A and B are shown apart, each in its own frame.
Chain A
Amino acid sequence: MKHKISSLSELQTSALREIVNIGVGNAVTSLSKMISTEVKIEVPALKVELIEKVPEVAGGADTIVSGVIMHVSGDIEGYIMMLLPEEAARTICNIISSEEEVDILSPFNQSLIEEVGHILAGSYVSSLSDFLGLDIKISTPMQTFDMLGAIIDQILIEMSKKAEYALLFDTLFIIQGNRTNGLFLTMFDPDSMDTILERIDKMI
């Protein structure tokens, strides 16, 4: 890795954070329109973590969530994940489908969550690719309801073949006041970080 993450300049760090903020901001605007409900985000936290520590950082390996994962490819490689605690998944399904008793495990609601994740990641990635002038695609989404650690360990395994540390951005989004929240997690591999930083360096 050419750019040691620890040696990121203040300027690079804030540029990165800003780019993710804009991307997630766009994604959340799409979500907000979809469910006609106000959705707020917190400023993304940028973290450099040992890959094996990621489940803890993301909320605990045994936390049960509805997770949607997409693979990012093209000029940069990585993953985008939307992790929703049961309550958040239920709130989103409830608002969209207006079912009274939401069973978040029904095939309909599972694909609904999957599609919400896909739309969010789509607007996120398109804003990233506009901003950075990079060609970035996302895969079809994969959704499951299970323990957080189990959902993401396959991705961490893939990443651990290339790197020791992962650069993560986690953004908490809050739906309907403070009632429920979810997590948007982005991980890029080290080469992709270099690509992104080169673009940023040209801009600043």
Chain B
Amino acid sequence: MIIVGMADSAVAKKPAKITTLGLGSCVGISLYDKSTGVGGIVHIMLPSREQARSKDNIAKFADTGIPLLLDTMVDEGAYKHRTTAKIAGGASMFSFNSQTQLNIGERNIAATKRTLKELKIPIAAEDTGKNYGRTIILDTENGELTVKSALKGIKIY
């Protein structure tokens, strides 16, 4: 199992599993090309690279992290036009935040969708929002994305 940390990404070819743990407001984007079995996950923290002071780690942002993941997959043999996405996370863990500021989880999801649209990658499944954490596992054997939570059970997309 390959573990992708926060603001991190990884790409692998079947048969391998890739996971990222404890997504709250962050979003986990998994891309997969069934024809080659190449898949990858990026764990983004913020919508856009322009919002951060330290600009070195491009995997931290939706608008740079997703293109980075796609490019790496293409380098590994994936076809861009056959690649699809499954996304999870973007929760709002604490209700009070929705009043004090625009919800960061929702903004992360919106930026993720915008970026995927620009890249012309269809979203095959999503498990986003609400108020609980998620761990995701991508199986590059078949492209299945398993979403685990502490109290809401396990779902497979």
Q: How many residues of B contact A (CB 8 A)?
A: 34
Stretch at the interface among A9-17, A26-34, A57-65, A193-201: A57-65
Say whether A145 contacts B150, CB under 8 Å: yes
Nearest residue (CB) in B for A145 is B150
Say whether B94 contacts A149, CB under 8 Å: no
B residues in contact with A64, CB < 8 Å = 150
CB of A29 to closest CB in B, whole Å: 28
Say whether A156 contacts B45, CB under 8 Å: yes
Say whether B150 contacts A161, CB under 8 Å: no
CB of B32 to closest CB in A, whole Å: 22
- Bound Cα distance from A64 to B134, whole angstroms: 11
B residues in contact with A140, CB < 8 Å = 96
B residues in contact with A161, CB < 8 Å = 46, 51-53
Say whether A146 contacts B132, CB under 8 Å: yes
Residues of B within 8 A of A (CB): 5-8, 21-26, 45-46, 51-54, 56-57, 60, 91, 93-94, 96-97, 104-105, 131-135, 149-151
Further 5 A-B residue pairs, CB within 8 A, beyond A61-B21, A69-B94, A161-B46: A51-B6, A145-B151, A147-B135, A156-B45, A160-B45
